[in-house]
Structure 1
Amino acid sequence: METVDIALIMLAFLLSVTFTLLVIKRLNILGIVSEDLHKKERPRKPKIGGVGIAAAFTISIVAAYFLKSSFVFAIILLAFLTEATIGLIDDLLQFAPWRKLVLASFGAIPLLLLIPIEPFTIVILFFAVTIASNWTNMLAGFNGLESGLGAIMLFFIALSTPMQNAQIILLIYAAALVGFLIFNKYPAKIFPGDVGTLPIGTVLIAATLIGAPFYKLAILFIPHVVDAILKFTTFGVFSSAQTKPTEVRAGFLTPPKNGNKSYLSLSRVILKFKPLREWELVSVIWGLEILLGMVTIIV
C-alpha cells in the first residue's frame, strides 16, 4: 500500500471524527433526536449521524479521484451518495417499508456504468443492491452494531480484493465508519440512521463489480441473511414501530414476551440462550462477523 493510500484512509478517519462531533452538537440543537430504546431511562440522542460519515467519505473519495485519476472513484461515490440521500429522506419522512425497499434500488443506477448493459445483468444488479442495502439496515438497533459490522465487512472484503482502487475505496469507508463508531459505541452519543446504514450494502455490492470476490461477500453476509429470514418469517415486511422492542431488565437485554407484536431476529435468538448487556450482545455479533471474515481469508 502506498503512502498516499494510507494518508487517504487516515483522512477519512479524522474527518469522520470531526464531522461527527459537529453533527452531534448541531442535531441536538435542532432537536433531531430519537430514543435509545435499550436503556432504562430511554435517553434521546441525535439520529441521523450518518451525514458525518457521508461527508468524510465524500471528501476522501474526491481526493482519491484527483490523486489517482480513476473514474471508478466517481462512480462508487455517486452510488454511495444516491443511497445515502434515500436514507436521509427516509430518516426524515419515514417511508413505508415497501417504499423504502423499492427506493433503495436506486443506488444501483450509477453502477450501471460498471456492468454490461444486458437485461438479466441489470435486474441482478438492482436486486443485489436492494437486498444488500436493506440487510445492512435491518441488522441494527443496538449501540455500535451497524457501524461496527460495516467496518468489519469492508475491512475483510478489502483484504480479499486484488484491485488496489477497490481496496482503497473499501478501507476509506471502513475508516470513516470507525471514526463514527467512537461516538456510536455503547453508550451511544449518536445513531447512524438509514443515511448511515443503507449505503454500506450498496458499496459492498459495488466492490464485487470492481474485483471483490462475490462468494466471500456472501460469507460475510451470513448473519444478515439469518436475521432477515427470521424477521421475515415471523412478522413479514412491517415497520419496526409496529413491533415490541427488545426488553431491558436489570441492565440485561431479553426478548419480549410472546405476543402478536413479537418477532425473531438474530439478536433475539442469541438472547434466548442467555440475557446479555447491550455491549455484550453487540460484541457477540461482531465476534461472529470477525470469525466469518477470517474464513474469507483462508477459503
Structure 2
Amino acid sequence: MEDLVIFMIVAFVLSVMLTKFIIKKMINVKYGIDLHKEEKIKVAEMGGLAPLITNIAILPFFNPYVLVVVMLSGIIGIIDDIAKLSPKEKLISLGMAAIPVGILLNMDIFHLFLLIVGVSITSNLTNMLAGFNGLEIGVGIISLIFLGLCLLIVGDVGGFQLVMVFVASYLGLFVFNKYPAKVFPGDVGTLPIGAFLATVAIWKGIILPFLIIMIPYILDASLKFYSAGVTRREEHKPTVLKNGKLYVEGGYLSLPRIILKKKPMKECEIVFVIWGISIFCGVLSLITTKILY
C-alpha cells in the first residue's frame, strides 16, 4: 500500500502540472464560455488531456492492457472535441475501442460482447451528465472510488490499486475543474472515465455493483432521451441564471434540470446534490457487494 500512495501522489502532482500547462496553452486556442456565470468568461477546454497523459505514464505499472481502452477512448474524445462526432459515430468508435482490451484480457465471446456494449454506452453516459463546474469529473471520481472499494471488499487489492491511481490522475484535473472552473475536461476527459469503469467492472465480475453506481448516469440519460431523443451534448440548452440561481424554463429534462425545476439553486449547490445522489448509490453498491460477493 505504501507503493500505491507514492504512485497516487506522483499521478496527482503530474496531473496538476499538466492541467496548469493545458490551461495556459488552451485559453486562447480551445476554450468555451461558462454560461452559468453572470459574466460569460472564457474557460480553457480539453483539460482531460492531463489525466490521459498521466495515465499513459502511470497505468503500465499496474495493468498495461486496461491502458489500451483508456488511450483509445481518449483519442476518440480528442477527435470529438475538435471535429464533433455524431452520437452514432461515437457509439460505434467507442465499441470498437473495447475490442483490443477484451482480447488482451483473454475474455470469452460473451464477456467481450458485454465489454463492447458496456464501454460504448458507459462512456457516453459519463459524457452526458455534465454542464456544471465540477459535475462530470466529481461524479466520475465518486463512481471510481466506490468501484475501487467494491473491489477491495471482494479481496481484489490489485484492482483497487489500479482504480485508485486512475482516481488520482483525475483529482489533479478536479482541482481546476471544481467551482469556479478554470478548465473544462472536454470529451477527452469524460469518455475515458466510462470506458475505464465498464472495463474494470466487466473484467473483475462486479457488474451488479457497477450498475448501481451508474444509476445517476442512467437516470440522467433516460430523462434526456425521453424528453429530447438522441442529441449531441452541445444541443442540450443551459439553464437560466437569475440572481445567482439557476432556473429551468422549458426544454429537455435531465437529472440536474428536474431537480432545478423543483428548487432553483446556485451552480455549486446543484452539483453538491448530484454528488450526494452519486454517493448514496455508491453506498448501495458497497452493501450489495458485501451481501452478494
TM-score tier by shorter-chain length is over 0.9
Q: Aligned-pair distance for 1:244?
A: 2.5
Identify which of 68, 72, 80 aligns with 1:82: 72
For 1:132, the equivalent position in structure 2 comes to 122
For 1:264, the equivalent position in structure 2 comes to 253
The 5 Å alignment of 1:1-299 reads 2-29=1-28, 31-62=29-60, 64-65=61-62, 73-112=63-102, 113-118=104-109, 120-161=110-151, 162-211=155-204, 213-255=206-248, 257-258=249-250, 262-299=251-288
Unaligned runs of 5+ in 2: 289-293
Unaligned runs of 5+ in 1: 66-72
Q: Aligned-pair distance for 1:132?
A: 0.5
Instruction: Quote the Cα distance in structure 2 between the aligned partners of 1:27 and 1:198.
Output: 20
Instruction: Quote the Cα distance in structure 2 between the aligned partners of 1:214 and 1:4.
Output: 28
Q: Aligned-pair distance for 1:166?
A: 1.3
What code does the residue aligned with 1:215 have?
L
Change (3 A) 1:115 1:231: farther
Instruction: Quote the Cα distance in structure 2 between the aligned partners of 1:133 and 1:240.
Output: 13
For 1:68, the equivalent position in structure 2 comes to none
TM-align CA RMSD:
1.4
Change (3 A) 1:239 1:211: closer
- Identity percentage of aligned residues: 38
Instruction: Quote the Cα distance in structure 2 between the aligned partners of 1:241 and 1:170.
Output: 30
What code does the residue aligned with 1:58 have?
I
- Tell which deviates more after alignment, 94-103 or 181-190: 94-103
What code does the residue aligned with 2:89 have?
R
Q: Aligned-pair distance for 1:20?
A: 0.6
For 1:70, the equivalent position in structure 2 comes to none
1:224 alignment partner, SS class: helix
Count of paired positions: 284
Runs of 4+ more than 6 Å apart: none
Change (3 A) 1:196 1:243: closer
Aligned partners of 1:154 and 1:174 also within 8 Å: yes
Change (3 A) 1:243 1:116: closer
Change (3 A) 1:283 1:243: closer
Aligned partners of 2:115 and 2:202 also within 8 Å: no
Q: Aligned-pair distance for 1:140?
A: 0.6
Instruction: Quote the Cα distance in structure 2 between the aligned partners of 1:240 and 1:130.
Output: 16
Aligned partners of 2:38 and 2:241 also within 8 Å: yes
Aligned partners of 2:123 and 2:194 also within 8 Å: yes
